[in-house]
Each structure stands twice: as C-alpha cells, then as structure tokens.
Structure 1
Amino acid sequence: MTDFADLKNEAAGIEHRDVTLEDVLPKDAPPWYRDSRLLLLNFLLLVPMFSSTGIGYDGSMINGLQAQSQWQDFFNHPTGYTLGHISCGPTYGMFVGVVPAGYIADKWGRKAGITTGATTMIIASAIQAAAQNYGMFLAARIIIGAGAVIAIVPSPSLLSELSFPTHRAVMTTAYNVLWYGGAILAAWITYGTYWMGESNTWSWRIPSLLQAFFPLCQLAMVYWLPESPRFLIFNDRIDEARAILTYYHANGNENSALVDFELSEIIAALEMEKQHKDVSFKVLFAKENRRRAFIAMMVPFMQQMSGNGLVSYYLSLILNSIGITTSSEQLVINGGLCIYNLGCATILIGLVPRFGRRFMFLSCLGSMLVIFVIWTILSAINQQRNFEQKSLGQGVLAMIFLYDLAYNIGLMGLPYLYLTEVLPYYIRSHGMSLGQFTTASVGVYQAYVNPIAMDAISWKYYIVYCCIIAGEFAVVFFFFPETKGATLEESTEVFDKAVRGSGAPSRDPMDELEKAGGVGKE
C-alpha cells in the first residue's frame, strides 16, 4: 500500500490489519433474507440486471417476429442480407455506443451509464413500434443497440462492485441469466399477438413497443440505487462510499470491521491503480494487461461463436431444416426453450460458489462439443432421408435443448463474473467496452454469414462450429487463470501472480489464492 493510501485510510478512520474477509464477516448475523437492508440492496440490484433482460427480449422478439406472417408480409419477407440487416441492427448501434459507454461509466458513474442507455432504448422502442417501412424499423434497431451497450458496459461492474462480498459471485452470475427472463416475455408476447389476425400490424408493433418495458423499470428504480463504492473512492468521495457500505453491508453499524476491511482493501487497490495516469483504451494493451485484453475479447467471442447464434436468432431456419415449418409450432418451441433455459441457468447459478471458473468453462465447452457433433450427424442423416423420419427431427430438437443446458454451465452468467474479476477497476469499463466491441464484431459475422450459410449448405455449416468450440476449449485450458475464492480486489493479484508465474493457468485454484495472501469466502 502506498503512503498516500495509508494517509487516506487514516483519514477515513480505518485501521489497516492483515486480515481476510472471513475474519471480519459478522458471526451472528441473520440470514440475508432476514436483513431488510440486504434485501433492499439485492432488490435494487435488479436495475443493472435489467440491462441483460432487455437484450434477451430483443433476440427472442426477432425470432418470434420471423415466425409471424404479419411481420413477414409487412416487410416483404426479408431473407439473406435483408434479414441480416434487421438481426444486425443492434450490432451496428453497439459499434456507435461502445466507446462512449466506457467513458460515461468512468467519468459520471455506473448509474449514469445505465440511465443514459435506458433512456435511449425507450426512445428507440417507440420509433420501432411506429415504423412505416423497412428503413425506419432498421434505424430504430440501430439506436436500440447504441442504448443497450451504454447500459450494458457498467451493469456487471456495478453488480460486482456493490454486492455484499459473499453474494458477489452469485449476483454477478445472475446478471446474464436474466437474459432469459426477457426472452420468455418476448417469445410468448409474439406468440399471443400472432393470433391478432393476418393483416393486423399491431401483432408486431405491440412486441416492439413493449421492448421499452425493462428500460422503463430501470429509470423508475435507478434514483434509489446506490453508486459503486469503487467509483466513489476512486473519485475521492470516501465518506459517501463508507455511508453506502455501512448502510447496506453492515446494517447501519458504523463500527463494522467488515466495512473497515472493505474500505481498506478498495483504497489500497485503487491507489496502486491510480499510478496509471493513462486510463484510455490503449492501456488495455500495455504489457501488463495484454492477457486481460485477450480474455476480454475471448470470453464474449466464446459467448457468441459457440453455435448459440444459430439458436438465438435463426431458430426458425433450424426448425425449417428439420421439418418443423408451421408458425404456431415454431413459436411454441421458441417460448418453451426460453422457459427451459431460465430454469437451467437459475439452478446452475448455485454451482458458481462451489466450482472453479476454469472447471465450469471447460465442462461447458467439452459438453457442447460432444452435443454439437451428435447434432451435426443427426441433421446430416435427416436431410439425406428427406426429413421423412420424425424421430431424427426430434433427435435434433433434443440436441438443441441439451446444447442449451451445456451452454448455461459456463457461457451464460459466468463470463461477466470472470471479466469483473480479471479486470482491475481502472480498466474495468474499458475492458467491458472491448468485450462488447468483440460481441458486435461477431454479431456482424453471424448476421450475414449464418443465414446465408444455413441456406447454402444447411447441416454442413455445423461442422464449422464444432471446430470453433474445440479451439475455445484449448484456449481456456492454456490461457485462463483461476480466480475463484478471492475478493474482487484479491482476484487482480491472483491473476497477476498466475501470469507472472509459469505463464500457464494454475492447476489448483487454491494455490494461487494462498500465494495472494488470504482467501475470502464467496
């Protein structure tokens, strides 16, 4: 800790001691669900979680609209590049919003980013619902993407930085799991409006307008949401940070050892990080951060390029390829798949505190690879037999459900937790922005290549994803250090020690944590 940090601790009334998180956790505290202030905090943390829910709504809504004859007729049955533009519209917007997103979150706070993004999405949803032609609909979707990324970049960071220490892993993992909440609503709303009639444009305008629901919820609740204590301390507002931690983490106890520990640890880490005068994007690629920058790009790449893009935005094309062609059948499957995924992902959140990050990533990718190979084989046989055997089509459908289960193990909620752990505060927002830039770049590929490839070579295109998943497994095995068990500040040191050591990830997660000087409970 620097001398300046010592002075700050003294001014803040903190006695620095060589203790761990476990030492300062209250021994006689009631369960969190009986602590009114922790309950309130966890409820308010829905505000950043809704950033993910809104994106889930968008993906599922586009799937549902593609299965609606009313939407198809109004926009002249878009296919190929035309359909790709609509699916890719939010991606274009992400390119526009990704740079300011990081600066807004760092300069004006995590709450400012969420507020700006939510407001933009509300305006865009109204334009989308009022669209009179293809161009207006596409423009609205571009604006939606810009607003979404401005809200997304600070949201996981705020969750990780504000959550009660032992809740951090679960709460941050839950962030992206709520993607399915939005997806379920969109799936069943589009199914319900489908029955409004062949010529009624409100069948797609209503789902488009309701895309503003979650951003509206964010605006309604954000005033009461506390700011990130890390942001406040980084900007020399220690008293405000102490007040927030005391109120929510210590139930108002101004003499809490836990609050002293948290403040001391945060101040020490941030004062070290303040030695980096340059906090622009280029610092991400400095020698000490290159592994972090690589992971910040690789994690969202895995999220988007592991075959899930086919299911998320082109489920209709997949179902057509196995003989399930009616709109009502496709809409029911889309809705059922979303409910199934939410259940799986919610249950799997409980595994996060028990298993290492590497174990979950590798289990996820290994299972997905096996399932995708079987999926490919069944699709090939099904096509060769002209889709005459329903059992083969049902087998492919079963693989879709099994694939989603495997995906949820490591690529739904875990990535955002892992990124907040490997990215120190001073580059966290920019690292998240870099990740969203990667997501947008991959989105362009998927929007233009996936539908064309599916039309041209059908099941053979799955072979490409089998190879990609195998490569992702190798990357995680050789380049992803373990971070489980450390506090948010300790995880940075764990990461650095793993990289400075052998250059390879720790085979025993606890080894690196012990070297870091203590293990905190999750």
Structure 2
Amino acid sequence: MADEKPSAEGHDTAAGGDKWDIRLVLPDDGIPWYKKRHLLLLNIFMVIPYLSSTTNGYDGSMMNGLQSQNQWQTFFGYPTGTRLGSLGNGVIFGQILAFPIAPWLADNTGRRFPIFSGSALLVVGAALQCASTNYAMFLASRMLIGFGGLIAVESSPMLVTELAYPTHRPVLVGYYNNLWYLGAILAAWITYGTYFMGQNNNWSWRIPSLLQGFFPLLQVLFIYFLPESPRYLVQKDRNDEARKILVKYHAGGDEDSALVAFEMKEIIVQIETAKAASSTGYLEFIKTRGNLHRLFIIIIVPCMMQLSGNGLTSYYLHIILDSIGLTSDPQQLRINGGLMIFNFAVSVAMASLMEIAGRRRLFLFSTIGMLISYIIWTILSAINQERNFTDGSLGTGVVAMIFLYQFFYNSGLNGPSWVYVTEVLPTHLRAKGTNIMQIAGTCALVFNGYANPVAMAAITWKYYIVYICVIAVEIVFVYFWFPETKGRTLEEVALIFDGEGALGDQELLQEKETGHAEV
C-alpha cells in the first residue's frame, strides 16, 4: 500500500477533470504509511472487523474437519444426504432470520454496534455447539451462530470500506475476505490435532466447536477501539464528528488538511445529492438504470462466489476425496489443512495486486482459469472411477486440479468481490445492498448445502459438469457487464453508474462549501 499516489486511470475524466481529483490533495512527503502513526494504528485496527470473515472461514473448515472425524460421525449417527445438508445449512437458517435486522442495525445504530452484538451471539452459539448432546441441539447452535454471524458480517466490510485511507481502501477491503482462510487454516489443523485424542473422546469435536467463539470474543472486547464510519456520521448529519475522525486518522491531527477538506466535501455532496434525488428503500434499486446495473452486480457476484464449484471444497471436501479413493481420515484432514494454507497465501498475494491489475481483469482471469481447471478435474475423476481407483496418479492429479482451481478462485472471487460490491454501492444504499448480496449468497449456499452432498452421492464426477456450465456463463457476465472501478474514490465510482450528476452540480458544490467550512 502507498499513501502518496493512487492509480491515475479513470481520474482524468472524473467529474470534469481536476474538480474531484484526489491526487491533488494527497500528501507527497515521501514518508511510507507504516512510519505514520495515525495510518499504522488505523490499519492495525482494521483487523477487528476482519475477524468476522475469519470466523466464517473457521466454520466452513471446521465442518469439513468434523466430517472427517470418526468421533463426530459416530456421535451424530453418520449423517448423510439431507440430514448432513441441514447441519451444513444450519448457519444459513440463522442468517435468513437475521436478514431483516442486519441492514436496519447498520443504518440506524452505525457500523460498530452490529459487529459487537452479532459477535456476542456468536460466542453464545459456540458455547452451545460445544455442549451439544444431540443432533437437534447441534443444529440449533449453528442457527444461532448464523444469526449472529450475519449481523456482524454485513457491517464489517462496510466499516473497513468507509473508514479506510483512500489509497489503502482497495487492498484493505480485499484482505477482508482473505482472512476467511486464516480461520479455515486454524480450524483445519485444530480438527486434525484433536482427531488423535482417541476414538471415543468427544472432546475431539467439542474443542474445535468451542474455539469458534474465540475470534467473536475478541471483537466484543475490542470493536469500540475502532472509530465509527465517517460516511455513516455524515448521513446522520453528524458532520462535526465525521470530520474529527478524518482529521485524526487520515491527516494525523492536521486541522487544515487539504485531504480532509476534499473528503468531507466529496462525501457531503454525494450523500446530499443522493438524498435529494432518491429514497433509501429497497425499491430504489429498480428506479434508475444505474441502480439496476448495481442490483445485477450485487446479486451475480455472491452467486459467483458460491456457485462456481467452491462449495464442494469448502464444506464437502471429504466427499470429493472419498469419490477418488482417498478415504483415510488423517489423509483427508492433512489435505484440508494444506489446501487452506495454500488458499490464504494466494488470496493475500492477489489482493495486493488489485490496484495494479484492476477488478475486471482479475474477475476474467479467475473465471477463465476456473473453467479450464474444472474441465481437467472432471476428466481425471471420470477416468479414475472407470479404473476403480487403482491408479494413484489419477487421484493425485485430481488433488492437484483442486489446488489449481483454488488458485484461480482466490485470484478473483475472494478478495476482489467484496471490494467491488462495496465500491459500486453509494453510501445511502450500501447497507441494504450488502443485505441483498448476503441474501443472494445465502440462496446459493442453501443450494450447495442440500444439492451438493445428494448429487455427489448419486452421480459423483458427473455433477462437476453442472459447474463447468455455470462458470462458462459467469465469464460472459463479467465480460459484458462488469465495468472497471480501480483508481477511483468511493464517491467517484458513482460516475460510472449515474453519470456526471452523481457528485452534484457546481451550484450544489458551492452551497456545501460554506457548510463544510463550518464542520
């Protein structure tokens, strides 16, 4: 990350050239950001909302690991089909119940309180999950985890997006979803380690279940060390508070900072223009051509994140490995753990390149690569089954294709997705748009939870053909309907969808200049 100069692409034509060019007000003192105390502290604080993603990653990997533990299988009666799907979807059921609540909390209480309250519920859910005495109690605890998790997850990337230093925002938001893999790595190796506690020791699955509450507990304790979103404060006409936050964390206490003056002006004008031209309800998404385009993107992106075949490796890796003859519990746990480490390394590296490559190029690179690797994966699986799994090299080849597929998935559908969605949404619609994204993603997860285990059990490798077709359609969507957004501030992205009027006309700008001088 660099705090001096963002990419120049897209700025020359933005709102009439220099009028909204943030490059003109960025400090050019030659000091790297990590030597500036205010930026270092701000970026360190971002770890707190990141932990919402870490908890999500822990959940998926933990369920993979528990399914490979004979202790867990024995205790819950070897669940299969829809019974297994219900456990995988228990979190989803809880999320569905939270959908009406999460955006209301974000819009009316700020971005921090939902993270606090959702994380507190997650801690309780993890304790109940650990203490489960039967299938029903385990399912209920997972529903509570899903309910609290969605409330925390919806506000977390919004807080990072709206609080981050302008030139750091794309990378910081990109890292948000990458931290999913930190939780996945820990869960994979914790379940691997507890597996060896003994065949009759139920703490082998209770310990990983309890530890799911560790990261939410950290969020409960530390979320209020992070300031509130200045864009939320402006939306609530608390401009004075918003400016103080920007002065402290973006300008290092410089009350006369040209950057802060620019940011406040841009935020105020964009929000006031949006308020004058529209409402903040869900129907706003179908009232203009620009908002319809946004609606398309925020529905398609989460579907791509969940329906590109990754649901198989996230929650049902053990079924894939069983299908190619790799049935040993420790072997499956090691592959799961190694895959999570690989995913984390790739996703962090690719997120760091986001401002160089751009969002659209990474989406195309990702989807095309996934298609190629899935085709090879399918062919190897088919041949392996025809030979009754006697050729070990074919099984190794499938595992290699799983790793290659994950490389491409993490290149474009992990970090860039959250960056892209939060960028295309204006402040007044960001909470509701994020909720729509979560609803679309949840629908896809419900499909994964029930269809994947049933289809894999019934038709094994032939099921992969469905995802080959889905990924091919995704490539078409990205090519024709995903505009590039790199090099623009949050407010400038609105120009792509709404045209020149998105940031207000000169008269409105002059009106707000006076108001800004007083905030």
TM-score (norm 1): 0.91
In 1, distance between residues paired with 2:52 and 2:496? 29
Name 1:503's counterpart in structure 2: none
Name 1:112's counterpart in structure 2: 113
Name 1:234's counterpart in structure 2: 235
* Structure 2 SS opposite 1:466: helix
Name 1:158's counterpart in structure 2: 159
Count of residues in Structure 1 that have an aligned counterpart in Structure 2: 484
In 1, distance between residues paired with 2:106 and 2:163? 14
Q: How does 1:60-459 map to 2 (within 5 A)?
A: 60-275=61-276, 278-288=279-289, 289-459=291-461
1:359 CA drift (Å)? 0.8
* Structure 2 SS opposite 1:99: coil
Deviations 1:178-199 (A, max 9, x none): 0000000100111111111111
1:19 CA drift (Å)? 4.8
Give the unaligned 5+ runs of structure 1. 1-16, 501-522
In 2, distance between residues paired with 1:23 and 1:280? 35
In 1, distance between residues paired with 2:159 and 2:461? 41
Q: What amino acid is aligned across from residue 288 of structure 2 in structure 1?
A: K
For 1:491, which of 484, 490, 493 is the aligned residue? 493
Is contact 1:482–1:495 with CA below 8 Å preserved after alignment?
A: no
In 2, distance between residues paired with 1:468 and 1:226? 41
In 2, distance between residues paired with 1:128 and 1:278? 42
Deviations 1:15-70 (A, max 9, x none): xx935111101111521111111111111111111111100000000000000011
1:210 CA drift (Å)? 0.5
Is contact 1:114–1:151 with CA below 8 Å preserved after alignment?
A: yes
For 2:479, which of 452, 477, 480 is the aligned residue? 477
Mean CA deviation greater in 344-353 or 82-91: 344-353
1:293 CA drift (Å)? 1.1
1:277 CA drift (Å)? 5.6
Name 2:464's counterpart in structure 1: 462
1:468 CA drift (Å)? 0.2
Deviations 1:124-162 (A, max 9, x none): 111111111000000010111111111111111111110
In 2, distance between residues paired with 1:217 and 1:43? 14
TM-score (norm 2): 0.92
- Structure 1 pair 106/211, CA: closer, same or farther in 2 (3 Å)? same
Is contact 1:177–1:412 with CA below 8 Å preserved after alignment?
A: yes
In 2, distance between residues paired with 1:20 and 1:448? 49
Mean CA deviation greater in 55-64 or 267-276: 267-276
Q: What amino acid is aligned across from residue 165 of structure 1 in structure 2?
A: P
In 1, distance between residues paired with 2:287 and 2:217? 39
In 2, distance between residues paired with 1:453 and 1:267? 51
* Structure 1 SS opposite 2:388: coil
Structure 1 residue 52 and structure 2 residue 58: aligned? no
Q: Runs ≥4 in structure 1, deviation > 3 angstroms?
A: none
In 2, distance between residues paired with 1:25 and 1:150? 35
Is contact 2:247–2:255 with CA below 8 Å preserved after alignment?
A: yes
1:113 CA drift (Å)? 1.3
In 1, distance between residues paired with 2:220 and 2:352? 30
1:356 CA drift (Å)? 2.0
* Structure 1 SS opposite 2:385: helix
Is contact 1:115–1:219 with CA below 8 Å preserved after alignment?
A: yes
Q: What amino acid is aligned across from residue 375 of structure 2 in structure 1?
A: V
In 2, distance between residues paired with 1:305 and 1:497? 32
1:265 CA drift (Å)? 0.5
1:79 CA drift (Å)? 0.4
Deviations 1:67-113 (A, max 9, x none): 00110000000000110000011111111112211110011100011
In 1, distance between residues paired with 2:205 and 2:285? 42
Name 1:7's counterpart in structure 2: none
Is contact 1:483–1:495 with CA below 8 Å preserved after alignment?
A: no
Q: What amino acid is aligned across from residue 215 of structure 2 in structure 1?
A: F
Is contact 2:69–2:329 with CA below 8 Å preserved after alignment?
A: yes
Is contact 1:122–1:212 with CA below 8 Å preserved after alignment?
A: yes
In 1, distance between residues paired with 2:157 and 2:102? 13
In 2, distance between residues paired with 1:454 and 1:371? 19
Name 1:509's counterpart in structure 2: none
RMSD between aligned residues: 1.4
Q: What amino acid is aligned across from residue 341 of structure 1 in structure 2?
A: N
Give the unaligned 5+ runs of structure 2. 1-17, 503-519
Identity of aligned residues (%): 52
In 2, distance between residues paired with 1:101 and 1:285? 21
Q: What amino acid is aligned across from residue 416 of structure 1 in structure 2?
A: W
In 2, distance between residues paired with 1:300 and 1:181? 20
In 2, distance between residues paired with 1:275 and 1:302? 34
Is contact 1:111–1:227 with CA below 8 Å preserved after alignment?
A: yes
Name 2:4's counterpart in structure 1: none
Name 1:9's counterpart in structure 2: none
Q: What amino acid is aligned across from residue 228 of structure 1 in structure 2?
A: S
